[in-house]
Structure 1
Amino acid sequence: MQAAPADPAGEPPSVTWGLDPMFSAFARLFVGDILRMTESTQVPGIYFYNSRPVYKVDVLGTVVYKREREDFFCYGVDDGTGVINCLCWKNELFKEEEEDPGKSGGKRSDKGHGGFNPVGELKKLRQAQQKRCRLEIGELLRVRGPVKTSRQQREIMASTFYKVNDPMMASQIAWMMEAPQLYRQFYDKPLQLQHNAKSDSAISPLSKAKHIIQDFFKQNSVSRFRPYDVQDLLQPLISCQPQTTSVDQEPVAGPSGSRQLRQLLKETLDMLQNEGIVYRKVKSQDEVYLVTAQDKDLLIAVKDIVREDSKREKYAEKGCHILHILSAVRQRYSLNVNKAALELVLKSLECNSDIVSSSDNHYTVF
C-alpha cells in the first residue's frame, strides 16, 4: 500500500486555503506572474503565487490577437509583462442579436410615450453591449475570471469582461500604480497560517473578559448582578504562575493573582459601562449593576418619555431629540444612564415598533 504523497514545499494543506483572504478575491496579478504560477498537486485548477493559493484573477491589458467563434471570443491580452489567452463567452442576448439583427430593431415608434421608443432604446442598449464585448486589436480589455490550463497553455475563463475607454491612459496609469502596492502589502508577503492558530493569544484579556461576561448575560438572562457574581468567570484569564525565590526555587504564595483578577474585573465593568451594556442606577456601597437590554423599567421609562414629550408642540413635527430624551431620563429615572445605554434602549424599542426614528437622532411614536 503506497503512502500518500507529501505536499510539495511551499504548498500549504488545502484545508487552510480559505484562511487566506487572497483566495476569495480576484487577484490583480501581472500576466507574467500568472503564467509562472505553479498548479496545485492537491486540487487541479488552484495555483500558487508565493505559496498563496489563487484561482481567479483580474487583468487589464491590450488586445494583441483575437478569434471569434459562435459561442465565445478569444482575446490575447498583453499587460507589458506577458500575453495570456482570455476565453470570453457570449451571453444569450448577444447571440440572439447576431442570429436576427432586425429582430429588435423594428420600425415601431411609441408616440404615446412622448417620442420615447422603448424598443429602440433596448436596441441601442444591446448595441452598446456588443461594442463593449467585441474588441479590436490595440483596444484595452479588462477581464476577470478563474485561471485554467488547457492543452498546456495558461488562460483565463472570463466571468466578466469589457472594453475600457482610456484615451488619456488614466485607467492604465492608475492600474500600474495600484498593482505594485498590492504586491508589497499582500501578494509578496508569504501567508503564515500558523499565526492564526495563535490568534486567541493576540486578543487582549480585557476583550476576552468582556465577551465572557456578555455570554453569561445572554445564557442566563441576567438583569442585575454584583461584581462577585461574575468574578470567578474571569479566573481562567489570570496567569497565576507561582513566584520563586532565588535560593531554593520553591513557589512563594502571593496576592498578585487576586489583585490581577480584581483589576481585570474593574476594567471590564468600566468598559461595559462606557459601551452602555451595563449601568448602575444608584451608586452606593452595594455595587449593583443593571444589564441595559434586560432592564424593563428603563425601557418603560424611555418609552413613556418619548410618548409623552412627542405630544408637545415643540416636538410634534420631528419628534424628541436623543439629547432631550437623555436629559429627561436622567431627571426622571437615573443620573447614571449614559448616551450609549440610551442608544441601546432606543434601538430595542424601535425594533419592537414601540417608537420610530423620524429623522437622524429624533424619535416619536406612531
Structure 2
Amino acid sequence: MDECVMDTDKGDVEEETPSLLWGMDPVFSAFARLYVKDILQMRESRQVPGIYFYKTHPVFQVDVLGTVVYRREREDFYCYGVDDGTGVINCLCWKNEKWRDHGDSVKGKGPSGVFDVEEKLRKLLETQRSICALEIGDVLRVRGTVKTSRQQREIMASCFYKVRDPVMAAQISRMLEMPKLYRDCYDRTSSVPPHQPGSNNPAQAGGPSDFQLLLGQAVRILKEFLREKEVARFRPYDVEYLLHPLVQRPAVTSSAGQESGAAGLPFATQVWNLLKESLKLLQDEGEIFRKVLSPDEVYNVTEQDKDLLAAIIDILREDSKREKYAEKGCHVLHILSSTRQRYSRNLSRAALQVALKFLECNSDIISTMDSHYTVL
C-alpha cells in the first residue's frame, strides 16, 4: 500500500518571495550552477517576467558546462545545444564584432625583431575566434541570463568559451562540486519571508515583520553552527547564546528589576521565543528532530545522526532482497514506517528525506526511480 501514496510536489504551489526582497537571497546575485534539467523545469515568476524560481530561490542568470551536441551559425551569433548529462539546452552566443572589423584587415608584418602591435592584435583575435567557434563534441562553458523564446527555455550568453579538457578534469571537478552546491545552497529553503497572497508590495501589505527577518537570520546562524561544528545532538540552552547578538539588549530596567526590550518583553523571553520558532522551522525542514519526546528537550541533527543513517542503510539492505522491492527498491513511505519502528516513532518525513538525500550524495544509497531507494 505504501507505493500507492502520491508525493505532492510543493514546488508548484509554493508562494513567491516579494520582488523587493530578492536581493536578500545570495543566489539571485550569482550565476547559479544548476543542472540543465532544473533550468528547463524552473517556474517563471508571476511578479517579474524573465525571473525564474528554483524551489524558493529567484534565478535569472546561470552557469552551465557541457558538451556541444548541435551547432547552428548565423551572421551575428552561434546557436549551440549544450548537454550536461541531465538535459540539453539551447545557448545563444553572440559573435564579437571585432572579428569582422579587424580579423582580416591586418595582414602585414613589421620588421624582423620589432614588436608589432597590429600583428599581436591579429593573433589575439584569431585565438579568441578559435575558442568561441566550437564544433560538435567540444566542451563549452556558458554564463548568461535565462530566457523563454517560442515556449523554449534557452540561455542568452554573456560569456562563453571552449574548455580544453582532454582528461575530463574540469567536468569531473564540476560533477563533484554540484551535489555539494545543491545540498548546501540551492535545496535549502530561502530564509527570505514568503510572499503573502493578495499583495505585490510588501510595504502596502505591512511588509515582512521585523521578527520574520530576525527569524530568517536566526535559522541561518543555527544551520551554519550545526554544520560547521558537526553537532550530533543538542539542547536548546546549548545554542541559545548564538541568538543573543540578534536581540537588542534593552537600555532601561523595569520596576521589577527585569530588563525590558522594545516590545515590552524581557530580553531572555525575546531570545527564547526566537529560539523556539527557529527550532520549529528547522524541524519542519527536517534538519533536526526529537528522537524521544521528554521534558528534557534533546534535538538530533539529521545529517549527523550516525545511528539513524545506519538504520536506514540496514533497512534498505535487508528489504531490497525481498521480491517485492528487488526491482524498484523501497518506497520512501515504507522506509519511513520501518525506521519509525526500528529507531524513533517521532521521525518526520521531512527528516527522513534529508537523511536519504545525504546518504545518496555520499553514494551509500541510490534512487532507482521517483521516491524509491536501494543500496548500492
TM range (shorter): 0.5 to 0.7
Matched, 1:235 2:236: no
Q: Secondary structure at the match of 2:81?
A: strand
Instruction: Identify the residue that residue 110 of structure 2 maps to in structure 1.
Output: 109
Structure 2 CA distance for aligned equivalents of residues 207 and 75 of structure 1? 52
* Cα gap change, 1:199 to 1:86, in 2 (>3 Å): closer
Instruction: Identify the residue that residue 130 of structure 2 maps to in structure 1.
Output: 131
Instruction: Identify the residue that residue 86 of structure 2 maps to in structure 1.
Output: 81
Q: Deviations over 1:294-353 (max 9, x none)?
A: xxxxxxxxxxxxxxxxxxxxxxxxxxxxxxxxxxxxxxxxxxxxxxxxxxxxxxxxxxxx
Q: Deviations over 1:180-219 (max 9, x none)?
A: 110000000111323424468876359956xxxxxxxxxx
Offset, 1:26: 0.3
List aligned pairs for 1:1-366, cutoff 5 A: 9-97=14-102, 101=104, 103-106=105-108, 108-111=109-112, 114-194=113-193, 195-198=212-215, 204=244, 235-236=251-252, 240=254, 254-255=256-257, 257=259
- Which has the bigger relative contact order, CA under 8 A and spacing at least 6? 2
Instruction: Identify the residue that residue 304 of structure 2 maps to in structure 1.
Output: none
- In structure 2, give the amino acid aligned to 1:76: G
Structure 2 CA distance for aligned equivalents of residues 24 and 130 of structure 1? 29
Structure 1 CA distance for aligned equivalents of residues 216 and 38 of structure 2? 31
Q: Secondary structure at the match of 2:17?
A: coil
- In structure 2, give the amino acid aligned to 1:28: R
Q: Secondary structure at the match of 1:185?
A: helix
Contact 1:110 1:118 in 2 (8 A): no
- In structure 2, give the amino acid aligned to 1:25: A
Contact 2:102 2:122 in 1 (8 A): no
Q: Secondary structure at the match of 1:174?
A: helix
Offset, 1:42: 1.3
Structure 2 unaligned residues grouped into runs of 5+: 1-11, 194-211, 219-241, 261-266, 268-376
Structure 1 CA distance for aligned equivalents of residues 170 and 136 of structure 2? 18
Structure 2 CA distance for aligned equivalents of residues 126 and 36 of structure 1? 37
Q: Deviations over 1:242-280 (max 9, x none)?
A: xxxxxxxxxxx654559xxxxx9xxxxxxxxxxxxxxxx
Structure 1 CA distance for aligned equivalents of residues 30 and 258 of structure 2? 48
Q: Which moved more, 1:186-195 or 1:143-152?
A: 186-195
Contact 2:191 2:217 in 1 (8 A): no
* Cα gap change, 1:95 to 1:190, in 2 (>3 Å): farther
Structure 1 CA distance for aligned equivalents of residues 217 and 86 of structure 2? 41
Offset, 1:146: 0.5
Q: Secondary structure at the match of 1:193?
A: coil
Structure 2 CA distance for aligned equivalents of residues 256 and 208 of structure 1? 15
Offset, 1:17: 1.4
TM-score, length of structure 2 as denominator length:
0.51
Structure 1 CA distance for aligned equivalents of residues 138 and 216 of structure 2? 47
* Cα gap change, 1:149 to 1:257, in 2 (>3 Å): closer
* Cα gap change, 1:199 to 1:63, in 2 (>3 Å): closer
Q: Secondary structure at the match of 1:204?
A: helix
Contact 2:214 2:246 in 1 (8 A): no
- In structure 2, give the amino acid aligned to 1:186: C
Contact 1:37 1:48 in 2 (8 A): yes
Q: Secondary structure at the match of 1:172?
A: helix
- In structure 2, give the amino acid aligned to 1:41: R
Over the matched positions of the two proteins, sequence identity in percent amounts to 56
Structure 2 CA distance for aligned equivalents of residues 37 and 257 of structure 1? 48
Q: Secondary structure at the match of 1:235?
A: coil
- In structure 2, give the amino acid aligned to 1:80: G
Structure 2 CA distance for aligned equivalents of residues 39 and 257 of structure 1? 48
TM-score, length of structure 1 as denominator length:
0.52
Offset, 1:139: 0.2
Offset, 1:11: 1.9
Q: Secondary structure at the match of 1:176?
A: helix
Structure 2 CA distance for aligned equivalents of residues 30 and 147 of structure 1? 13
Q: Deviations over 1:6-62 (max 9, x none)?
A: x96332222221111100100000001000111112111011111211100000000
Q: Secondary structure at the match of 2:251?
A: helix
Offset, 1:79: 0.2
Offset, 1:115: 3.4
Q: Secondary structure at the match of 1:63?
A: strand
Structure 2 CA distance for aligned equivalents of residues 165 and 87 of structure 1? 20
Structure 1 CA distance for aligned equivalents of residues 19 and 124 of structure 2? 44
